[in-house]
Amino acid sequence: MLKTMAAQLTLLLKTGGRRSNGWILFKFALMLIFLFVLFSVLFHALMMYEGRYYSWVTGFYWTLTTMSTLGFGDITFHSDLGRLFSIVVLFSGIVFLLVMLPFTFIQFFYAPWLEEQNKSRAPRSIPKTTAGHVILTHFDAVAVTLIEKLEQYGITYVVLTPELQQALDLHDRGYRVVVGELDDPETYRRLNIDQAAMVVVLNDDIASTNIIYTIREISGQATTVTNADLTDSLDILKLAGSTHVFQFTRMLGRALSRRVLGINMQSNIVGRFDDLLIAEVPAMRTWLQDKTMAESRLRERCGVTAVGVWEQGMFQIPNADTRIAETTVLVLAGTRDQLEQFDRTIARETDKNGNISDGPVVVLGGGRVGQAVADALETRGIDFRVVEKRPGIAEKHDNFIHGSAGDRSVLIQAGIEKAPSIIITTHDDNLNIYLTIYCRRLRPDVQIISRASLDRNINTLHRAGANLVMSFSSLLTTTIMNLIHPQKVLMLSEGLNVFRMALSPRLENMVLREVNIREKTGCSVVAVKKGDHLVINPDPAIVLEKGDELVLIGNADAEKLFIEKYPAATEPN
């Protein structure tokens, strides 16, 4: 107890304004002592006036009980002058003891002590030995997703915030947080900037520019990743010294556009790991329709492997009996030559432009993401219509239609009755859910691709009828993870990743088919890296050896289960 009290007293004495606060408290205490002595002397004088005599202790006792409003009533004045004096002492006690004393104590003693305690809970530096960590200069829902992924891969992080209250809130929620000014070079020195793996700057463009300049003032080698909200900010942030500058909204738009059914006859490549390519292929109007995986004999025909299927927004690892329906989208893995061989076997009913539908792709929302989708579709020669309610945007483009996406006549004007795909791109998840339900009611057979601003709404969008959902936060997280560990994680769609792991000691010298990784974890092995050689679509009889790396595909839960079940001894290069 004594140690605790000593520690608290030391903490108080270290308060920034301790001298001025202490002097104010000292002066107030002197005033109370002066009044206490004055009233005690007057008590004796008035009692002598009434012909009564008391000790000095009794005088102090009467003054204390009267000023504190206890008023035991065992000692009272008999004269009006004495009673008037009692009233003065009573009101003085109310003002000084019951009002001013608590206020002064809280203002100049308790509040500074509490603030100092709060500061001690929110650190202003990290240990000097910390290295390989990621610094985040902004905290929001996107940062939460990134932090979850960093923790999954065992990467240390720290959130930097200039606001003490936010730091305390984050600290109470279990996040690693440091308080410091974003434009103070000393802040980044205390965060071991030269030993950090990366600084993620997701503030607004102006604040981000200042942060980057501040970092470059003390470190020329720190790796920084910055998001540019405006296209004009790309060059400015690069000039400020940012290592990597992205426009994630445009990246999201391009990613959404790659998933449409209204594409030409070629398989749609959505990612790569060295020579391994991952592609998505709609089965609609191809020879694959209504066949099982075993009947398709894709591996024998062209060397590719179907590592997954999308069916009504749900990703599944297929088996030999999985049937390929009209709405199925195959996820294929193979080399470029193997995918080209697959493309030559595909025969779809197409229009004169090579598209599987004579209707345009309908894009709902003409903001930055919607415009990025439109640009990507235009580049690929795909017909499209964008519905946008803001006239200033709609009037600038020939393929934009001014109107509300909730108006059926506007959707009919945009071509929804023949559209192979609908892409919903607004930043309001509530509106996206509404439009998904509405469009699914109008077109039960159409492919619906939706953007999610918050990860918690992804499942809701799937339940509402979206075939595919992609989020800003997952795209950003995957990009950053690839920069920290190049080619370690590749997001194919929301919740579906291709990732690589160093071979766990538990799998050394085992035959791939005997391990049953797919059955035990839900992940599928798409490649094995042996030294500098990448074995794509490995033979099930391949022997896994020490030093190998596995490239796997699976959803987030399957990836987590694999990492828990087969932890790697070392991280891949």
Query: What CATH number is associated with residue 296?
Result: 3.30.70.1450
| Cα distance between residue 233 and residue 71, in whole Å | 73
Q: Is the pLDDT of residue 573 over 50?
A: no
What's the rounded mean pLDDT across residues 113-138? 81
407 falls within a domain = no
259 falls within a domain = no
Per-residue pLDDT band at 33 (split at 50, 70, 90): confident
* Tally of domains in the chain: 4
What's the rounded mean pLDDT across residues 310-336? 79
Residue type at position 113: W
Domain boundary among 345, 362, 383: 345
Domain span at residue 334 reads 265-345
Assess whether 10 and 116 both reside in one domain.
yes
Contact 23, 54 (CB under 8 A): no
| Cα distance between residue 296 and residue 481, in whole Å | 35
Q: Is the pLDDT of residue 153 over 50?
A: yes
Assess whether 114 and 138 both reside in one domain.
no
CB count in 10 Å sphere of residue 343: 15
Contact 468, 314 (CB under 8 A): no
Residues constituting the chain: 573
From the list 424, 433, 411, the residue with the least C-alpha distance to 359 is: 411
Assess whether 18 and 102 both reside in one domain.
yes
| Cα distance between residue 353 and residue 482, in whole Å | 36
176 falls within a domain = yes
* CA neighbours closer than 13 Å in the CB half-sphere of residue 379: 10
Identify each DSSP E strand in 237-326 by its residue range. Answer: 244-246, 268-273, 276-282, 305-311, 314-316
462 falls within a domain = no
- The pLDDT tens digits of the residues spanning 60-91 come to 899 888 888 887 888 888 888 888 988 898 88
180 falls within a domain = yes
Assess whether 37 and 114 both reside in one domain.
yes
What's the rounded mean pLDDT across residues 138-165? 90
Domain boundary among 60, 92, 121: 121
Most confidently predicted of 217-221, 326-330, 432-436: 432-436
Using CA atoms in the order 142, 144, 145, 149, what is the torsion angle rounded to 10 degrees?
Answer: 140
Assess whether 10 and 108 both reside in one domain.
yes
Share the mean pLDDT of the chain.
83
Per-residue pLDDT band at 19 (split at 50, 70, 90): low
Assess whether 151 and 99 both reside in one domain.
no
- The pLDDT tens digits of the residues spanning 512-571 come to 988 888 888 888 888 898 888 888 888 888 999 988 989 888 877 888 889 888 987 654
Q: Is the pLDDT of residue 42 over 60?
A: yes
172 falls within a domain = yes
Assess whether 138 and 166 both reside in one domain.
yes
CB count in 10 Å sphere of residue 387: 26
Strand order, beta sheet including 329-334: 268-273, 276-282, 329-334, 305-311, 314-316
What's the rounded mean pLDDT across residues 445-449? 87
Share above pLDDT 90 across residues of the chain, in percent, rounded to a whole number: 28
Per-residue pLDDT band at 369 (split at 50, 70, 90): very high
211 falls within a domain = yes
DSSP-based three-state secondary structure for 555: strand
Assess whether 112 and 7 both reside in one domain.
yes
Q: What is the CATH number of the domain that holds 240?
A: 3.40.50.720
Assess whether 159 and 90 both reside in one domain.
no
User: Strand 447-452 vs strand 421-424: parallel, antiparallel, or unpaired?
Assistant: parallel
Assess whether 152 and 241 both reside in one domain.
yes
> Whole-prediction pTM value?
0.66
Of the two residues 319 and 229, the one the predictor is more confident about is 229
Assess whether 189 and 93 both reside in one domain.
no
What's the rounded mean pLDDT across residues 303-328? 78
| Cα distance between residue 341 and residue 336, in whole Å | 9
300 falls within a domain = yes
Distances (CA, A) of 310 to 306, 428, 493, 532, 561: 11, 25, 10, 32, 21
Assess whether 151 and 214 both reside in one domain.
yes
Per-residue pLDDT band at 396 (split at 50, 70, 90): confident
Contact 336, 278 (CB under 8 A): no
H or E element in which residue 526 lies: strand 524-530
Q: What is the CATH number of the domain that holds 69?
A: 1.10.287.70
Domain boundary among 345, 362, 384: 345
